Structure 1
């Protein structure tokens, strides 16, 4: 795969691989932390996750000829993406790509990962349904006192109590910091969620993303996530 690189567009460019029964190929996608955008087999795709991709409706017949697609328009295949995450240990930061694999040929758990930190390779020993659990598993495998800095570990992020998608469905509450500080249960979280949604300030982010307002969550923060 190609090395990580900053893009001239709004976001970063990341290498990815795709394979299905019709072949395998590599490419580069662009993400701003909210939406993935890439071209595969001549078709432009965008979406918050690989199982929620949209493509030009006018090309749907062509897409069906190029890919295996289920009744929900999910592309059935295996995506591998290199996404940079930051590890903090003893005050020192290390930026390295976690390789996430999404296998949409399976019906249940479909996500695995590998990560190299200081020459040691960490990888999943089982499959996961959510990237949230991937990052939790990696944190538990890393040396003691290592901290992962990303949207999932930020005090301003949380999931909706009703449920979430496998990737990219984490809500960012950085525009409601004061209100979030009073949240201690699901009902209070839903109230804040509804308020910022009505104000059009709610945004969904990828768990592996990070912005300049990141602050690591603490035990005092009540958040609807397992991290």
Structure 2
């Protein structure tokens, strides 16, 4: 199943309206006739069919889009005091040129949630999707939460590090074992044999609300 998000791409050469295609593992977006693909927004690489002339209209380094800003809308589900309602995330990703002396942060993410309770915006200080989504969750009134994998009881990150987006490990195949994890030592004993990696914004039918103190992460 694929999702499609209306998006705006901006760089020093101008603004382009486009659509982000997401199959749960790979992001695809076509800009100025060039298709870029990757597992994360800072790893969007041009397709092999792209010509040097086409790539001359972009800043690339190393081998992926940079010096640009991408804004898109994503519909999500909200738990609303016993009921489920619809909400949407306005996501802004800024990717600086890593070789530029003017780059403040190589990668920055800022997210705004629009739902029945109003608008809730992250600070952008955390930069990755985990930090920004958890910040928004902390702003929501009691009894409300985003029904996303980032908030799921059976999701966690590797202690060896993670990417900015889409590197969340799903343990729905080892629920009982995972729920015994209380610290890093317990987590290592689990062996990191997860069902799969998922995007923070994904949602499956086995979602359960995360309980503080469960697993390796907060």
Q: TM-score, normalised by structure 1?
A: 0.82
| Range with bigger deviation, 69-78 or 21-30 | 69-78
Instruction: Say whether the 8 Å CA contact 1:157–1:223 is kept in structure 2.
Output: no
Q: Does 1:219 align with 2:212?
A: yes
CA distance in 1, matches of 2:131, 2:61: 25
- Structure 1 ranges of 4+ moved more than 6 A: none
CA drift at 1:122: 2.1
Number of matched pairs: 211
CA distance in 2, matches of 1:75, 1:61: 16
What is the alpha-carbon root mean square deviation over aligned residues? 2.2
Are the structure 2 counterparts of residues 18 and 193 from structure 1 closer, same or farther at C-alpha, using a change threshold of 3 Å? farther
CA distance in 2, matches of 1:171, 1:110: 22
Unaligned runs of 5+ in 2: 97-102
Unaligned runs of 5+ in 1: 1-9
Indicate the SS of the match to 2:17.
strand
CA drift at 1:223: 3.1
CA distance in 2, matches of 1:123, 1:195: 34
- The answer for the alignment partner of 1:209 in structure 2 is 202
CA drift at 1:194: 4.2
Q: Deviations over 1:179-226 (max 9, x none)?
A: 323323223323434445xxxx4x2211111111111111352232x3
Q: Does 1:64 align with 2:64?
A: no
CA drift at 1:170: 1.0
Q: TM-score, normalised by structure 2?
A: 0.85
CA distance in 1, matches of 2:179, 2:138: 27
Indicate the SS of the match to 2:43.
coil
Q: Deviations over 1:126-147 (max 9, x none)?
A: 4331111111221122222212
